[in-house]
Structure 1
């Protein structure tokens, strides 16, 4: 399901912008080329779950970009091995592994989740950025597409963060609204960093995707 908070209207890329050249730029010195990274929020299990899901989501996106269907038979053993390497206790491995597999299956079967993984213009997973203060940050997925999911077009830059949070209550809409409020400031920082590279007029959509639900929340960056 989608909670849409995007503005209406059509957008165009700046005439001088070549998105392929921009996203193909090599990382600046000091930014690790390693595609995965440690996420600070949450306890050990939450961090491990997030790291493994992000690694396997990137693997799925790469397979789809090559025109291949992701090999679902490999998810369980890969997730188990990666979670074990992250330090998950043996007694917790079966449940955590199943949660990772469920997140991946949800995303692959969800039309909007699958759309996020599609080979859009200049699509990149966990691309490195340096903001105006010199801090190194990574965005989970960026690409150019329409200003709404599943629509045709490539005039808007999407900045997507995958979240492993799961709603423990019954009010999904309230949960998603709270998550948007929590992460909106950080997402806006990503947008400001991108606009410093692309130009202030660049239309940007910020999005959070929750594969365990599954649900997509998106809104237009100010």
Structure 2
């Protein structure tokens, strides 16, 4: 991706976020744009960094560990978010590498993250992932089990920033976003990690604080 393309794509997404926040009576800086760089190498990521993007998302700990330490050394203010599923045995690696983890969804992972944070002293923000469409193939805690998992995570001392969800594919995502926003309000949480390339503007009007945009920034994956 050329520097010009990266700059134009980033400006377009930022402009659309600003417009959506204006419609919703919110401020543009209430929304964090996470550029999801999974499957893209350092050469593809660097033009977006050069264009001013500082928050990036990865799906896998191992992939992130291979490319981000060097990129973060060169640009110190980058923040890295884990937006994919996390195995409990990778919790310590995730805590060491990431500034936020969006996929906390079960008691065993809560325990592993709490242990890793206690041992390392590093405390990335955590989002509870909710299986908002009750889809068996997706990660996330069931809606009915959210209060119990949230209580467990808070008791373990995890810094819970909010809720995250991925709605069912190819349906109107707005009702699912609205449900997650309602669950967050009921839980007293401010953070809402919702919205991707196809629906981030809808998510922003419903209250997203973090949108996870990959394809619209990087182009289609090979």
TM-score by length of 1: 0.24
Higher relative contact order (CA 8 A, sep 6+): 1
* Structure with the largest fraction of strand: 1
TM-score by length of 2: 0.24
